[in-house]
Amino acid sequence: MGDKILDFVHTPAGKSLVAALGLSAPPQLRRAKSGFEAQPLAGKTVLVGSSRAGAQSEAVLAALEQAGAACRVASDLAGLAGVKESARVAGVDLTSSSIEVGEIDNAYVLDLSGMQSHKELRLLYDFFQPRLRRMAPNTRIVLIGLPAGAASDYAAATAQSALPGFVRSLAKECGKNGSTVNLLQVAPGAEATVDGALRFFLSSHSAFITGQVLPLAGAPEGYTAVPAEQSLKGKVAVVTGAARGIGAAIAQVLAREGATVIGVDRPAEEAALAETISALNGVVLPLDITDPSAPETLAHLVTQRFGGVDIIVHNAGITRDKMLRNMAPHLWDMVLDVNLGAIVRTNERLMQGAFKPNARIVCISSIGGIGGNAGQTNYAATKSAIIGYCNALSGVLAKQGMAINAIAPGFIETQMTAAIPVVNREVGRRLSTLSQGGLPVDIAEAVTFMASPLARGVNGATLRVCGQSFIGA
Ligand code: NAI
């Protein structure tokens, strides 16, 4: 397992070879070394721009300030009168008319949620163009816009529709040095939920996420923000497929944020499961999730021992690849049952009183479910269904103060992808903006974000964690 080419190009010899051949090496991604922090932007300067006055600009500046950032407002942009007013609230420096890239610590936020027409799209050019050449590696760029359908009229909606295309393109331009560009679509009235998403997308916890659009709505009633540090303390989290790979990393990162983890995996994997989960002081539950009695076994354990469950991560998944014309029926049935049927059955049982208030469900989908792959009709059908399932169930759960979201990994370095033929494996790794596969921890960080109060405005969404893979783009 592991990407030997990536390892090599970051050695002195590899760097010389890459330079001599005139090639560009995949960037070295800066990943988080510790957990979510109360003030992740402490001591950092963030450049903020906005199209006009608005509740979102105020919320953005307040959120950045609470996260410890010093904000510089790009007052060289047109139409910033309103920002000046809100900037005053956050106590930022308004005197500077042109801000040097060197003054900014790798973080840029542009709030365009107040755009009224396409004429304001020039702000995109004015904000970014002069600064891009000197932007540092691993810079984080976040744009704020409105969700589809939330604009006041067709002119505003047209302007908003420009943002996903812009973000995806800028992400492709900036990715060569490990920088990321993402768009948060904040619904009117949901401004109070922007802080958690900003913290995540401006941090090194989101190193493998770029070119993505995430809608934010209001938080469920009674679900308030808590300091990001150890925000899962006292929470009980179930992770399926936790013996190895992505599931083991998810268990570790949830535990890092304070959760008590119940790790589930097939009885045949009990030794590996025990090794992973015991190190986290968690609970080991050898269980085949397709067993008809599995939902009851799990519900019984969580209610008897913990009075219910706060978080469940449906990570266990399998591939049984074959062209459909050659696929035996049992391979179809097996993949459909592990990747979809078991998840639906388990949630149905837990929804009968085993979820604690404000519980959060995270399901693992795949970019294969978005783009499709020859030989993966069974797998892609399940991973695509997961996206629709999360979206369809979100409304029902929101009424009960709960949320469900999906994470769609791209190529991640695990045993599952180590089994892919070498040429396909190289294609899977390199055909992305960040030119490399992700690590299990990249998925674990995103899952933990979705499971935490940082994502309290997110429900029914699917977030791709794929380095902007061209598959399904
Ligand atoms: P993996 O094969 O390394 O680990 C999967 C785990 O699930 C194993 O420990 C396995 O024993 C467990 N499992 C399988 N069937 C089970 C069952 N019936 N009951 C209980 N546990 C069961 O896979 P990996 O790569 O860690 O993938 C995890 C998830 O991420 C899967 O849902 C997969 O489809 C998804 N994914 C992975 C990608 C990758 O590049 N590795 C890409 C896209 C999605």
Task: State how beta strands 180-186 and 309-314 pair.
Answer: unpaired
Task: Say which DSSP state 171 is in.
Answer: H
Torsion of CA 223, 226, 232, 233, to 10 degrees: -120
Distance from C-alpha of 80 to C-alpha of 51, rounded to nearest angstrom: 6
**Domains and their CATH numbers in the chain:** 32-216 (3.40.50.720), 236-465 (3.40.50.720)
> According to the model, what pLDDT value does residue 90 have?
36
Among the ranges given (140-154, 216-230, 380-394), the one the predictor scored with the smallest mean pLDDT? 216-230
Segment (H or E) for 201: helix 194-201
107: confidence class by pLDDT, cuts 50, 70, 90: very high
Beta bridge mates, 216: 186
Q: Which strands make up the sheet holding 107-111, listed edge to edge? A: 70-73, 45-50, 107-111, 140-145, 180-186, 213-216
Which of 369, 380, 377, 368 has its CA nearest to residue 322? 377
Ligand 1 pocket test: pick from 264, 315, 335 the residue with the most ligand atoms within 8 Å of its Cβ: 315
Segment (H or E) for 246: helix 245-256
Residues 6+ apart with CB under 8 A from 66: 39, 195
316 CA from centroid of ligand 1 (Å): 4
The answer to whether residues 361 and 347 touch, using CB atoms and an 8 Å cutoff, is yes
The answer to whether residues 265 and 316 touch, using CB atoms and an 8 Å cutoff, is yes
103: confidence class by pLDDT, cuts 50, 70, 90: low
255 CA from centroid of ligand 1 (Å): 19
403: confidence class by pLDDT, cuts 50, 70, 90: very high
CA 289 to chain centre: 25
- Residues lining ligand 1, CB < 6 A? 240-241, 243-247, 264-266, 269, 288-290, 315-318, 338, 364, 366, 409, 411-412, 414-417
The answer to whether residues 163 and 212 touch, using CB atoms and an 8 Å cutoff, is no
The answer to whether residues 211 and 367 touch, using CB atoms and an 8 Å cutoff, is no
Q: Which of 108, 223, 379, 389 is catalytic?
A: 379
Segment (H or E) for 404: strand 403-409
364 CA from centroid of ligand 1 (Å): 9
Rg of the chain on CA atoms, in Å? 22
Query: Cα separations (Å) of 340 from 147, 253, 363, 379, 444?
Result: 28, 24, 10, 10, 20
- Work out the end-to-end distance of the chain between its first and last CA atoms, rounded to an integer number of angstroms: 26
31's tokens = 């990943």
11 CA from centroid of ligand 1 (Å): 32
Assess whether pLDDT exceeds 70 at residue 397: yes
Distance from C-alpha of 197 to C-alpha of 119, rounded to nearest angstrom: 28
Instruction: Give the residue, by CA position, lying nearest to ligand 1 atom 32.
Output: 317
Which of 311, 317, 309, 270 has its CA nearest to residue 289? 317
Matching residue, tokens 């909606």: 157
pTM for the model stands at 0.93
> According to the model, what pLDDT value does residue 101 have?
62
Sign, CA torsion 265/271/273/278: positive
**Phi, psi at 129, each rounded to 5°:** -55, -45
Query: Cα separations (Å) of 137 from 26, 30, 259?
Result: 12, 9, 33
Catalytic annotation present for 379: yes
In the chain, % helix, strand, coil (3-state, to 5) comes to 45, 15, 40
Q: What is the pLDDT of residues 133-186, one digit of tens each?
A: 989 999 999 999 999 899 999 999 999 999 999 999 999 999 999 999 999 999
SS3 176: helix
Which of 333, 307, 291 has its CA nearest to residue 299? 307
- The one-letter amino acid code at 362 reads V
Q: What mean pLDDT is reported for the chain?
A: 89
Q: What is the pLDDT of residues 32-87, one digit of tens each?
A: 999 999 999 988 889 988 876 556 778 898 899 999 998 887 754 444 444 444 34
